Structure 1
């Protein structure tokens, strides 16, 4: 469905042409003075220079051609040449009825669907998820959902860190703690146990202990490096341990991501890219892309237009060892082979921009990706506490994601119990739903690239620009609709009448913006645009609700119209929060 502002623009452009002026001057936008008008065209001001004519005279000529328009209710010229516009109430209600009957709620799907891989999450195995993983998961999940809603094939990949020295550290530490395990017996030939010799809690203690030890104990670090080498050479016992580490870690990661309502299509790992490295390195050498620099194999990626130094992309260290660059490039090779994506989007900390510039340029220059394959860096800022520093526990440590979710759920539970609107049995479940909205909306309502302050008190409030406020609005609408149906009546689509008052028209205008906002959020990869929209839509609904006695209205046709409008608002709000990655309860 065409956007309402585009329909108005078409009408205004025709009038410019009819009046003898170029149609390109007839662009219409939302008014920045809603007290005066709903839409505005400033094209006459720009046209004045071309046509050497006073702008208000040009605007008068255009306005005269708009007389009798079925789309516009009022057109007013204001000096020096603004064209102020109000839309016709009947046209607006008809437009909303079309949205209501459109299975996509007026969204125009992309004409040429793309295959897009979104790389988000990026946790390391054997480590618990902490608040530093939150933004990648939340932003990536929302971008995936928005992309799918627009009609693309979007594949979410968690891309686990499961290779390299961290694995050697764990194996070396485990060997010191439990030297008698069969995995360390070179003479052992039977099947290895199915059950891991550690729990997730033990595993999460082993890694930091080993990491700390390696910094002070050179001998232990050597053992860890040797264990890493043995693992990468295929040592059977170490491979079995590695598989246990993966199984235990991934089970726990899936449990925690589920609490965030984040789902990955792929659980690919760094290790999956390893088989692609030898052929990739040979290809880079044979085709003259890579050369030796102080013993290391590198690809130059600097460009003449660079305003700052862009170092070469290192493929292999001087000792022949691979790096993150190597693995990431091999992962791109794997993705091109398996999925042939039109675009790969990396949702990562914005401080990694230089690194990804090197990797992307290397992949493009060496033709590891097709010429028209886009590689996109979606950098995000840090989540900070009220002190402006990265979010920590009260003791000053890095907060586990599980702990943050639990604390938010507990805060919401207290508020819901105090509200006494939900049965005690349902309060916990409702608290989890509303708590998730507080976390996700609190994050997504900010511009992704900017740092933001995670304020638990503000984010869990039922008032203001928060997730709980949005959900409270949806629940309020659901309650009205339920009571209407309890009267034995049916909600009928396509029965929205022209607005009976200003607050209703304001609500209808906000509702009509949905398609444009989603399109903009998709094109700019900006979930915060959807947050801003549903906040304004919620405000418009609540203003209308407080002014209007909906269910006690005597005119059944009017009541039916209001109910149909509310049902459309509910559907748009619920569709929007689904794109943001959370849902609404039935009661709060």
Structure 2
């Protein structure tokens, strides 16, 4: 289904041709002056120089060729050469009727389907999720869902940090706390237990204690850190005892992480980690050296990534340290090797803090230079800003520590719960169920409504408000629409897609004009990995609906056909909003 802008553009192209003007000038935009018109074309201004003719004369000729068009109720040439257009109620109503009956409301992915890997987890094993993990998970889940919606086969990977020094630290702290475990008995030759010798609560206490101990500037601290390095090395070299403990750590960590990601309505198709890339590293680096892609520099093996077009000097990508150790870039490159082998994707999207941009530039360029991916491979880095407190600094607990994500969710749920109890007479159980759904919407919309690269202030009171540009406001709009439709059905009415009638109501047209932007918004959000555009769109649609609702006696309308048309328009609005919030990865309760 063509978009409204495409249909108007086609109409203008015919008119431009008749006026002797190249069709490339017939570009149509949504008007930035809605008080004057709905759509606008400035092509006459651009064509004036080429045609050596006054722009208003060109615009006059084009408009003269469009006087009989059924698309417009008004089209005029405005000096110095603008073409202002207002579409007819019949045209826009016909379009929304077609939208209502068409799969995906008329959206078509012109590029065809692809296989896309979205890397948006980045959590570390043995550590609980905290507020620093929020943006990657929330934005990444939405990017994945948008890719799925447009028809791509999309694979989300949590890409756990599970192979670094933290593992050695945990193993050595366990040794100090539970020295009698069989894993630390060098003479032990039996099978290691299938049950972990610790709980998730113990594990969450063990890692910070070990990390603190390793940073102490004492002989004991230095010795402990050296022991942790040795255990990490033994783990990576395949020591059976270390591997057995590592498997316990991973089993318990994954179960806890999945529970917490579930609470965010975030899921992954792959639960792979840095450890999965290890078998590919040695061969990959050796091939880079043999192919002349990597070379020795001050004892390390590096890949030069500088390009002639760079405005500043970029350091090389180190793939092997002087002591033989691998780095994050090495692991990321080897992960690409595995992903190419197993999935052969057409595109990759990586989400991480925007301060890691250099790392991704190095790693992407090294991957292409080494032939790990094709030269034209689509490798995209979506760098996000920081979630800050009201003081403008990175969000912390009142005590100044990093807040666990489950505590943040609990805080916003409580804020919503209090508002629900204040506004409605509902049971505690229902209020808690509502607050869980609405609280997640408040949290996610509060994040996603900001452009990913921008920092933003986390404000529980503002995010949980039922008014303004918030998640609860969007949900309240959907609940209101559901309530009207349910009452209509109770009165014996039937909801039919495509039964909307044209009227002269400005509020109905405003709602229709908002709805018809759907395909363009989805396409833009998809190509730019920009969920915030969907947030902007549903806020606009919600405002337009509420304007229509306050302006129209929907269920009191005496004309049955007109009433049925109103309800069909509401049904389309509801379905569009529900589709969009699903792309943002939250849901709507039955009532609020």
Deviation at 1:457, TM superposition (A): 0.8
Distance (Å, rounded) in 1 between the aligned partners of 2:189 and 2:268: 37
Partner residue of 1:88? 88
Distance (Å, rounded) in 2 between the aligned partners of 1:408 and 1:568: 31
Structure 1 runs, 4 residues or longer, greater than 4 Å off: none
Partner residue of 1:483? 487
Matches within 5 A, 1:201-216: 201-216=201-216
Partner residue of 2:395? 391
Distance (Å, rounded) in 2 between the aligned partners of 1:177 and 1:480: 62
Listed one character per residue, the Cα deviations across residues 55-100 of structure 1 (whole Å, up to 9, x for unaligned) are 2221111111111111111112222221111111111111111111
Deviation at 1:54, TM superposition (A): 2.1
Distance (Å, rounded) in 2 between the aligned partners of 1:81 and 1:262: 50
Would the aligned equivalents of 2:369 and 2:375 in 1 still touch at CA under 8 Å? no
Would the aligned equivalents of 2:89 and 2:504 in 1 still touch at CA under 8 Å? no
Partner residue of 2:382? 378
Task: Extract unaligned runs of 5+ from structure 1.
Answer: none
Provide the secondary structure at the position in 2 that maps to 1:84. Answer: strand
Distance (Å, rounded) in 1 between the aligned partners of 2:232 and 2:28: 63
Provide the secondary structure at the position in 1 that maps to 2:473. Answer: helix
Partner residue of 2:321? 317
Partner residue of 2:277? 273
1:572 and 2:576 correspond: yes
Distance (Å, rounded) in 1 between the aligned partners of 2:194 and 2:426: 45
Partner residue of 2:52? 52
Partner residue of 1:128? 128
Would the aligned equivalents of 1:422 and 1:587 in 2 still touch at CA under 8 Å? no
Distance (Å, rounded) in 2 between the aligned partners of 1:205 and 1:227: 19
Match of 2:232 among 228, 231, 248: 228
Would the aligned equivalents of 2:200 and 2:252 in 1 still touch at CA under 8 Å? yes
Provide the secondary structure at the position in 2 that maps to 1:57. Answer: helix
The number of residues matched between the two structures is 588
Q: After the TM superposition, which of the residue ranges 194-203 and 172-181 deviates more from structure 2? A: 194-203
Provide the secondary structure at the position in 1 that maps to 2:160. Answer: coil
1:98 and 2:98 correspond: yes
Partner residue of 1:430? 434
Would the aligned equivalents of 1:126 and 1:203 in 2 still touch at CA under 8 Å? yes
Matches within 5 A, 1:131-142: 131-142=131-142
Distance (Å, rounded) in 2 between the aligned partners of 1:540 and 1:499: 16
Distance (Å, rounded) in 1 between the aligned partners of 2:372 and 2:56: 57
Partner residue of 2:14? 14
Would the aligned equivalents of 1:341 and 1:373 in 2 still touch at CA under 8 Å? no
Deviation at 1:421, TM superposition (A): 5.5
Distance (Å, rounded) in 2 between the aligned partners of 1:143 and 1:34: 31
Partner residue of 1:194? 194
Aligned-pair RMSD on alpha carbons? Answer: 1.1
Deviation at 1:137, TM superposition (A): 0.2
Distance (Å, rounded) in 2 between the aligned partners of 1:474 and 1:199: 43
Distance (Å, rounded) in 1 between the aligned partners of 2:389 and 2:346: 38
1:552 and 2:551 correspond: no
Would the aligned equivalents of 2:163 and 2:275 in 1 still touch at CA under 8 Å? yes
Would the aligned equivalents of 1:342 and 1:372 in 2 still touch at CA under 8 Å? no
1:404 and 2:408 correspond: yes
Distance (Å, rounded) in 1 between the aligned partners of 2:43 and 2:310: 38
Distance (Å, rounded) in 2 between the aligned partners of 1:85 and 1:373: 41
Provide the secondary structure at the position in 2 that maps to 1:135. Answer: helix
Provide the secondary structure at the position in 1 that maps to 2:543. Answer: helix
1:184 and 2:184 correspond: yes
Provide the secondary structure at the position in 2 that maps to 1:173. Answer: helix
Deviation at 1:368, TM superposition (A): 1.1
Distance (Å, rounded) in 1 between the aligned partners of 2:526 and 2:427: 39
Deviation at 1:340, TM superposition (A): 0.5
Would the aligned equivalents of 2:25 and 2:43 in 1 still touch at CA under 8 Å? yes
Matches within 5 A, 1:356-375: 356-375=360-379
Listed one character per residue, the Cα deviations across residues 247-266 of structure 1 (whole Å, up to 9, x for unaligned) are 11100000000000001000
Deviation at 1:21, TM superposition (A): 1.6
Distance (Å, rounded) in 2 between the aligned partners of 1:144 and 1:421: 38
1:294 and 2:283 correspond: no
Provide the secondary structure at the position in 1 that maps to 2:105. Answer: coil
Partner residue of 1:112? 112
Deviation at 1:422, TM superposition (A): 4.3
- State TM-score, norm by structure 1: 0.98
Distance (Å, rounded) in 1 between the aligned partners of 2:310 and 2:513: 46
Match of 1:508 among 509, 512, 519: 512
Deviation at 1:232, TM superposition (A): 1.4
Residues 465, 39 of structure 1: alpha-carbon distance in 2 compared, 3 angstrom cutoff: same
Match of 2:565 among 561, 566, 570: 561
Would the aligned equivalents of 2:301 and 2:318 in 1 still touch at CA under 8 Å? yes
Listed one character per residue, the Cα deviations across residues 272-317 of structure 1 (whole Å, up to 9, x for unaligned) are 0011112112211221222111211111111222222211111111
Partner residue of 1:351? 355
Deviation at 1:170, TM superposition (A): 0.5
Distance (Å, rounded) in 1 between the aligned partners of 2:454 and 2:135: 11
Residues 258, 110 of structure 1: alpha-carbon distance in 2 compared, 3 angstrom cutoff: farther
Would the aligned equivalents of 2:157 and 2:268 in 1 still touch at CA under 8 Å? yes
Deviation at 1:423, TM superposition (A): 4.3
